[in-house]
């Protein structure tokens, strides 16, 4: 149980385009989802917290107009990187937490590798 | 959030027991200690969580002394597939209302 999926697993796009990444909780309802970013050989950095039905909360230094987050249902959150540039190339990982999961733990998706040319 | 300190890297050999220690001197009363494993280009995977004394599951053991200022993740009889980055996190169970704060982790390399 507690499986989280992400789609796509990798994406390559041209500079200036927008890219949408989906995060789904497959077998539980996720009241809260989190988005992280990880650069090569670095640790995960929390970008934003997404609660179903409300606006996302962004960490300091993360541009909310550039990284649009929508948590439209209890099983789906989307991250849209708008007008992507090469410096946005990174590994984006989501995690989900449900209200009744044992230990209130976060379960992570497999990640999405974004490469902006 | 309590800051954690763990070795940047460790080496070991197949079949050995590996112990990774994490320091968390400022751990709060309601904080739990959680370890995650991450392989390259994959999301972190929950390994084990504990509050005090010893916790054991099918993949690892977690030893926490009485003062809770440190913890040790023990991996019995490691194999090559245990090569990964291991993160020690301290905070409210599940991260509370906030996301998780990852430190630099320990890069464990298992050799034949």
Distance CA A83, CA A89 (A): 12
Distance CA B60, CA A74 (A): 32
Residues in chain A: 117
DSSP string, B14-46: TT--EEEEEE-TT--TT-EEEEEEE-TTS--EE
Distance CA A35, CA A80 (A): 11
pLDDT tens sequence across A70-88: 988 889 999 999 999 999 9
pLDDT tens sequence across B59-71: 999 999 999 999 9
pLDDT tens sequence across A17-32: 999 999 999 988 888 8
Residue A88 has phi, psi (to 5 degrees) of: -85, -5
Task: Please tell me which of the candidates B43, B49, B104 has its beta carbon nearest to residue A103.
Answer: B49
Selected for mutation to probe chain A from B4, B44, B45, B109 (highest A CB count within 10 Å) is: B44
Q: What is the DSSP letter of B95?
A: G
Distance of alpha carbon B75 from its chain centroid, rounded? Answer: 10
pLDDT tens sequence across B7-23: 999 999 999 999 999 99
Inter-residue contact A99 to A29 (CB < 8 Å): yes
Say yes or no for a CB contact (<8 Å) between A105 and B49: yes
Q: Is A77 left (phi over 0), alpha (psi -120 to 50) or beta?
A: beta
């Amino acid at each position: 149980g507690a499986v989280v999926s992400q789609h796509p697993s990798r994406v390559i796009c041209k500079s200036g385009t927008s890219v949408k990444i989906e995060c789904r909780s497959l077998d539980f309802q996720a009241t809260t989802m989190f988005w992280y970013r990880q650069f090569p050989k670095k640790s995960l950095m929390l970008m934003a917290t997404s609660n179903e039905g409300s606006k996302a909360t962004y960490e300091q230094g993360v541009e909310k107009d550039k990284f649009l987050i929508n948590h439209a249902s209890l099983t789906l959150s989307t991250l849209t990187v708008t007008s992507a540039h090469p410096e946005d190339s990174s590994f984006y990982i989501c995690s989900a937490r449900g209200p009744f999961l044992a230990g209130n733990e976060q379960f992570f998706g497999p990640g999405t590798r974004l490469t902006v040319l | 959030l309590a800051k954690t300190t763990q070795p940047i890297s460790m080496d070991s050999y197949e079949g050995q027991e590996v112990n990774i220690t994490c320091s968390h001197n400022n751990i709060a009363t309601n904080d739990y200690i959680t370890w995650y494993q991450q392989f390259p280009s994959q999301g972190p995977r929950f390994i084990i969580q504990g509050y005090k004394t010893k916790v054991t599951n099918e993949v690892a053991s977690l030893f926490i002394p009485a003062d809770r200022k440190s913890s040790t993740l023990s991996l019995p009889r490691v194999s090559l597939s245990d090569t990964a980055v291991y993160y020690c996190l301290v905070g409210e169970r599940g991260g509370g209302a906030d996301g998780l704060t990852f430190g630099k982790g320990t890069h464990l390399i298992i050799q034949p």
